[in-house]
Chain A
Amino acid sequence: MSILVDENTRLCTSGITGREGTFHSLRNRDYGTKVVAGVTPGKGGQDVDGIPVFNTFHAAVEQEGANTAMIFVPPRFAADSILEAEDAGIELIICITEGIPAHDELRVYNILKKNGRSRLIGPNCPGILSPGKASVGIIPASFFKQGNVGVVSRSGTLTYQIGNVLAQQGFGNSSIVGIGGDPVPGTDFIDVLTLFEDDAETELIVMCGEIGGDAEERAADFIAEHVTKPVIGYIAGFTAPPGKTMGHAGAIVSGSHGTAAAKAEALEAKGVRVGRTPTKVAEAAVALLRG
C-alpha cells in the first residue's frame, strides 16, 4: 500500500502545454504514472506527446476518467483551475504552483471544505511520490525506492536531502507527501499523519516542518492522541529572524509566534523525537528501523 497516489491514479495536468507542465507531465509518465489527459483552455484537441489535451477538466473526466489533477498554471489562474477540477468531480488535486495570493487560497480552502468532495495538496508543493507506483509532481523520483518510511513535509528539497540519506542506508518510502510552504495548505500534517497511520506499508513517519503558523504544534497534540507508529520530526529555521519571510510564503516568525524552537519543544513534549539536522533525522529513523 501507499497513500494518495498509486497504480489507480489517472492524472490530468492543468497547464500541460506550458514548458514546465509538459516537462513534468512527461517525467511523471516515464516513471509509470498514468497521465491520461491535460487541460489548456483553447488547445482542446491537441496532444502533448500522445497525451490528449482538453479545454476543460469536465471533458478530461468524461472522456479519460481522470481522478487526480496536477495544477501547473501561473498563480493568477491557479485558484480558478483548482475550483474547476473540483467542480468536475476530481477527488485529489495537487497544486504545484507557487505564489498564489493568500486570499485566493483562503477562498479555495473554504469552498473545498464546505463542499467536502475533493482533497487539495499544496499549493506551492513538490507533489506526491509513491515509489514504484506513481509520481505526481516534481519530486526527483529516481532517488527514492519503495519501502516503509512515510514522509510528510512542508519543503521539497529538504525532503530529498533526508530521503537520500535514508536511501543510502538502504531504506525506502511508502509515500512522500509535500504539503507545501504556503500559509493556507489544503492538506496539513494531521490529515497526512492520519493516512500514514492507516497505511499498512508505513512503519515509521518522518515529518518535516518549518517556521511559521502552528501546524506542527497541532500535529504534536494529534500524534500524542492518535498516532501509534513512531514519528521523527525535523524543523527548519532555528536561525530565522522574526518578521522575515524565508523563501516560502508561510515561513515567517510573527513576533514570538511560529518559531522553530517552540515547534521542536511542542513535538518533544509529546514524545516525538526531533532531529536537529537532516542527517540526525535520517540516523534516528535508521536506528528505529533496524530496531
Chain B
Amino acid sequence: MDLLEYQGKQLFARHGVPVPAGKPARSVEDAVAAADEIGYPCAVKAQVQIGGRGKLGGIRIAGDRREAEEHARAILGMDIRGLTVHELWIEGASQIASEYYASVVFDRSAKAPLVMLSTKGGMDIEAVAAEDPDAIASLHVDPLLGFQDFHGRRLAFEAGVDADVVRPVGAMLAKLYDVFTSEEATLVEVNPLIITPERDVKALDAKVTLDGNALYRHGDNAALRDLSAEDPQEVMAKERGLTYVKLDGDIGILANGAGLSMSTLDVVAEAGGTPANFLDAGGGSRADAITAAVEVILSDPKVKAVLFNIFGGITRCDEVAKGLIEAFEQIEPKVPFVVRLDGTNGEEGRALLEQAQLPNVHSEATMDGAAARVVELAGGAA
C-alpha cells in the first residue's frame, strides 16, 4: 500500500523523524485556514502518488493568504499524469542548504533491508544511479541484528556528507530504519532529505510503501486511504474480497490462481486482444464468489466480451458453472462470454452450462482456443 506524502510524514513524526509542520486539506477553505495557522511563507503541495509533481505545477510557495488561496484553487482538481488531485498538504516553507537522498528498501533479492544515502538529493535517484553510481552509498543490514550506529556512520562517511552533520544524518537513518521495521514497510524513501542553514536535518518529502499483509497489526495504517488512486471497480472488488486489477482493454477476464490469471491476460494479448482486467477468483472459488466477480467485471463499461479460464485444482468447475448460471439469473449480461472449464469436475461443469443454455455463452476446450474466440467476439484483433 503506497502512502501519500503527508501520510508518510505523519508516520515519520510518530517515530521522531523531523518533518516540517503541516496540515492536510481537501478544500480551498481548509487550505487557507491551514496556511494561516502554519504561517507564511508556506508550501501548497498536491497529494498524488506520482513523481515530478513539482515540475507540473503541483507544488507552489504562498507568500501570503491571497497566494495560498490562489494556489489551493489551482492545484485542487488538477490532473497530474492522469491522477486527479483531491488532497493538499500545506507546510511551512523550508530553507535549504543541502539536499540529500536517503532510503530503506526491502531487497527481496538479497533477503535483507538495503539502506542508501546520497548527497545528490532532490533529483531522480535512478538517474543518479545510472550516471554516477559512486554518488550513492549503500549497505545491507542483517535483519536479525538491526540498524546499528556504525551502519549510520559508515553510510554518512561513504556518501561524503558535510562533516558537521555526520552524526545527525546517521541518527536520521536509524529513525528511518525504525519506521521501516516497526511499521512493516517495504519502502521508506526521503528525497530530498535537507540540511537547513541552521544545520538541522529534515525530511522534506516522504515516500512510504506498507506491506498490505501486515496491516492487521497496524490498525491506524489500515485506515489510510488515497482517493486519487482509487478506481471504482477496484474498490468494488476489494469490498467483495476479490483480487482485481483494472487495465485499459475491452476483454473482461476471470481465471483461478495468480499465475494462470496473468498467463490468461498474456494469451489474450498474443491472440490480438486487450485485457480489461486481471481477476484471480482464487483457489476453492465458490459459486457466490463467481457471481460477485461477474458483477465487478461487467461494471467496467468498456468490457465487450468476457473470458472465463479455469483449470480446476482445488477449484471445482461445477461450482464455477453454478456461479455463472446464478450471475446470469441476477444480472442478464449484454456481452458474450467464452468459458473454458478444465480440471477438477470439468465434465460436470461443462454439462451444467450445456443444460442451462445461457444466452451468448460459448464453451471452448482449450485456453488458446478460448482466447482466440473471445478476441473474435470482442470485435477482432486490435
Contact = CB atoms under 8 A, between A and B. Distances in A.
A8 interface: no
Given A106-B143, A110-B111, A110-B112, A158 B260 contact: yes
A140 B344 contact: yes
Contact of B259 (A184, A210, A243): A210
Interface in B200-248: 211-214, 216-217, 243, 245, 247
Contact of A158 (B184, B213, B245, B257): B257
Interface in A93-152: 99-104, 106-107, 109-111, 113-114, 126, 138-140, 143
Contacts of A276: 266, 270
Interface stretch (A46-54, A198-206, A233-241): A233-241
Interface stretch (A28-36, A57-65, A223-231, A249-257): A249-257
5 contacts: A140-B314, A236-B262, A247-B258, A247-B262, A250-B108
A140 B270 contact: no
Contacts of B243: 247
A113, A153, A234, A236 — which one has the most chain B CB atoms within 10 A of its CB? A236
A123 to B, nearest CB: 10
Contacts of A155: 257-260, 262-263
Contacts of A181: 258-259
**Residue among B143, B258, B263, B267 with the highest chain A CB neighbour number at 10 A:** B258
Contacts of B313: 126, 138-140, 156-157, 160
A153 B259 contact: yes
A159 B313 CA distance: 10
A70 to B, nearest CB: 15
A278 B268 CA distance: 12
Interface string B108-119: 110111000000
B213 A100 contact: yes
B275 interface: yes
Nearest to B51: A255
Contacts of B269: 238-239
B329 to A, nearest CB: 27
Name the residue among A75, A210, A246 with the largest chain B CB count within 10 angstroms: A246
B262 A107 contact: no
A249 B283 contact: no
A220 to B, nearest CB: 14
Contact of B143 (A110, A239, A241): A110
A51 to B, nearest CB: 20
Nearest to B180: A103
B144 interface: yes
Nearest to B218: A101
Contacts of A194: none
A277 B278 CA distance: 17
A211 B262 contact: yes
A161 B106 contact: no
Interface of B: 2, 106, 108-109, 111-113, 126, 142-144, 181, 184, 186, 211-214, 216-217, 243, 245, 247, 255-263, 265-270, 275, 278, 280, 283, 311-314, 342-344, 366-368
A249 B262 CA distance: 13
Contacts of A240: 262, 265, 278
Given A110-B143, A140-B314, A251-B258, A279 B366 contact: yes
B262 A140 contact: no
B144 A114 contact: yes
Contacts of B344: 140
A161 B181 contact: no
Contacts of B266: 236-239, 260, 276-277
A241 B334 CA distance: 28
A154 interface: yes
Contact of A102 (B112, B213, B368): B213
A157 B126 contact: no
A101 B267 contact: no
A43 interface: no
B214 A101 contact: yes
B144 A107 contact: yes
A236 B214 CA distance: 26
A114 B111 CA distance: 13
B263 A161 contact: yes
B259 A156 contact: yes
Contacts of B314: 138, 140
A234 to B, nearest CB: 8
B343 A164 contact: yes
B275 A239 contact: yes
B258 to A, nearest CB: 3
A15 B164 CA distance: 56
A239 B265 contact: yes
A218 interface: yes
Considering the complex of A and B, which 3 residue pairs feature the smallest CB-CB distances, nearest first? A155-B259, A247-B258, A157-B257
Contact of A213 (B109, B143, B247, B312): B109
Contacts of B342: 164
A246 B263 contact: no
A143 B269 CA distance: 28
Which of B216, B268, B275, B311 has most chain A Cβ within 10 Å? Answer: B311
Given A101-B214, A107-B143, A251-B262, A241 B247 contact: yes
A208 interface: yes
Contact of A157 (B112, B144, B212, B256): B256
